[in-house]
């Protein structure tokens, strides 16, 4: 069993996003939405990044706004860790 703790450097990149899925054990899927300008036409386009995030205590749920930080690679797809839950999802919100 791995007992190595995950350290987050002070200057590591941090992002905020919405939890899209929390089905995995100690893992959640976080979506970061952003706008970018089209290189030729100048119109703003909606884009999104989906990140697998390590959630040690399974404390996040679908719809929560969370802050994540980049850390060492944890698995093939996980190199981000949950630092805090900024805003909880409203009760019975996303599923209803």
- Dig out the tokens for 42 from the structure: 């100048």
- pLDDT digit string (tens) for 34-93? 999 999 999 999 999 999 999 999 999 999 999 999 999 999 999 999 999 999 988 765
In a domain, residue 92? The reply is no
In a domain, residue 71? The reply is yes
Residue whose tokens read 């930080």: 69
In a domain, residue 64? The reply is yes
What range defines the domain where residue 53 resides? 23-87
Q: What is the CATH number of the domain that holds 73?
A: 2.40.50.140
Coil vs helix vs strand at 71: coil
Predicted pLDDT of residue 73? 93
Using pLDDT thresholds of 50, 70 and 90, give the confidence band for residue 6. Answer: confident
DSSP annotation of 77 reads: S
Q: How many domains does the chain have?
A: 1
Using pLDDT thresholds of 50, 70 and 90, give the confidence band for residue 96. Answer: very low
- pLDDT digit string (tens) for 50-67? 999 999 999 999 999 999
DSSP annotation of 43 reads: -
């Amino acid at each position: 069993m791995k007992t190595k703790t995950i350290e987050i450097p002070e200057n590591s990149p941090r992002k905020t996003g919405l939890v899209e899925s929390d089905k995995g054990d100690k893992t959640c899927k976080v979506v970061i939405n952003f706008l970018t300008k089209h290189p030729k036409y100048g119109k703003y386009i909606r884009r999104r990044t989906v990140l697998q995030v390590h959630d040690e205590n399974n404390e996040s749920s679908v719809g929560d706004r969370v802050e994540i930080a980049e850390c060492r690679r944890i698995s093939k797809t996980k190199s981000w860790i949950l630092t805090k839950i900024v805003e909880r999802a409203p009760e019975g919100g996303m599923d209803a």
